[in-house]
Amino acid sequence: GAVVSQHPSWVICKSGTSVKIECRSLDFQATTMFWYRQFPKQSLMLMATSNEGSKATYEQGVEKDKFLINHASLTLSTLTVTSAHPEDSSFYICSARLVDTQYFGPGTRLTVL
């Protein structure tokens, strides 16, 4: 199947700093990518949908100024968590759509101290 990578796989940062997570579709081009967040023992929650070359669409309750999404090319989307706080600690997972199937990255574990 199609491969989606994420970098970094884990990151620990101090409160107030910003963290950037990259998501790449390795063997296909994706006009649409998705960002999810997953807290412990909970299911994935969709944060936003990004389309290449246009602004991301955020789900209700997700602050667009805090979670900056850039989808600059057909194979790369980035999520920047700005001024991170401990409550932002979570497992962030990206996904890319190929035809009618979504493929997911391995996730990024963010811990904010």
CB of 20 to other proteins, least distance (A): 18
Neighbour count for residue 4 (Cβ, 10 Å): 25
Q: How far apart are CA 101 and CA 18, in angstroms?
A: 31
CB of 62 to other proteins, least distance (A): 13
In the bound state with other proteins, the residue whose beta carbon lies nearer, of 67 and 103, is 103
In the bound state with other proteins, the residue whose beta carbon lies nearer, of 49 and 89, is 49
Q: How far is CA 72 from the centre of its chain?
A: 14
CB of 91 to other proteins, least distance (A): 7
Q: Is 94 in contact with 33 (CB distance < 8 Å)?
A: yes
Q: Is 62 in contact with 111 (CB distance < 8 Å)?
A: no
In terms of Cα–Cα distance, which of 112, 79, 84, 80 is closest to 94? Answer: 79
Binding stretches for other proteins (CB under 8 A): 1, 4, 6, 32, 34, 36, 43-46, 49, 51, 57, 91, 93, 95, 100-107, 109
CB of 3 to other proteins, least distance (A): 11
In the bound state with other proteins, the residue whose beta carbon lies nearer, of 75 and 95, is 95
